[in-house]
Structure 1
Amino acid sequence: MLKQELRVVMSSEEESIEQAAAARRERLRALRAAQDLLNTPDEDSGQVEDNGTNDEENSLNMKFRNYVPHDKQLQEGKLAPPVLPKFEDPVAAAPPPEEKKEDPFVNIAPKKPNWDLRRDVQKKLDKLEKRTQKAIFQLMEEQEKEKLVEASGSSGVDD
């Protein structure tokens, strides 16, 4: 029973595929017919083609921009290189303002002799600066406490 159902499903799929293929063939035929109508020369223009010899000559209408063919007949199709318009740079056209010219070695100022030492020791100096600030703050607090103790001690002695 299951096999029969599979055959029915497969046959319907094959039919749908065949129908799609037939529809596509029809569309392609219609497109070819339309293209042939566009490509056929008008009888009024007076162009009469021979047995196909003229067709081959017209199809060899190649243009070569970057390639020089060895065949002499094909060399006729070589195009001249395009002529580029001259580009004028508006920035370069304006003359730069004239500056007085000095010897570049006169203005060279050497760095301080200890610049590399400062760079290498800067982290350690920052840590020491923080510790110094803390120590100064602690000393100031101790001095304030001593003043308060002296002030409270001296006020108690007077009474």
Structure 2
Amino acid sequence: MAAVGSLEETALKRKERLKNLKNKNKGDASENGQENDADTEKEKLPRPVFRSYKPLDESLKENSLPSVKPEDVADKVKSQLEASKTHDVLEEVDLVNLAPRKPDWDLKRDVAKKLEKLERRTQRAIAELIRERLKRSGEDLAQVVNAGAAHPDNAAADDDDDDND
């Protein structure tokens, strides 16, 4: 209970100090030639602005904004509709230029490096298989190459293959 009494006493002391500070501030304001607190509070308060509310009190009617009539947008809409009716824009755009000629060009671009490596490996593997076959048959590599180049059927077939590529 003693603690409750001491809390009340400190609260009363605090209230007295606050009153003294207020009185001191009022005295300073009146000495400097300022108006009293009631007049300064009226000046400091913001004035309400009524946009959609129409006040009944005459003193508040001066704070209301004048009513604004909506603009006629029919002319603006008509001009936009007329501008959208022109078909010149569609004639200028060529759909062939917008779409890629080959739809898979990006896939080919991304896979090209890997395909080059595979092509080299394939050529090496084919060459190795031919060498192994020649070793098994016991024929000389130079003789087989010369014989293949001299044979007229193989030469004609090679020319046809070159034309197709």
TM-score (structure 2 length as normaliser): 0.36
- More helix, by proportion: 2
| Greater relative CO, 1 or 2 (CA 8 Å, sep 6+) | 1
TM-score (structure 1 length as normaliser): 0.37
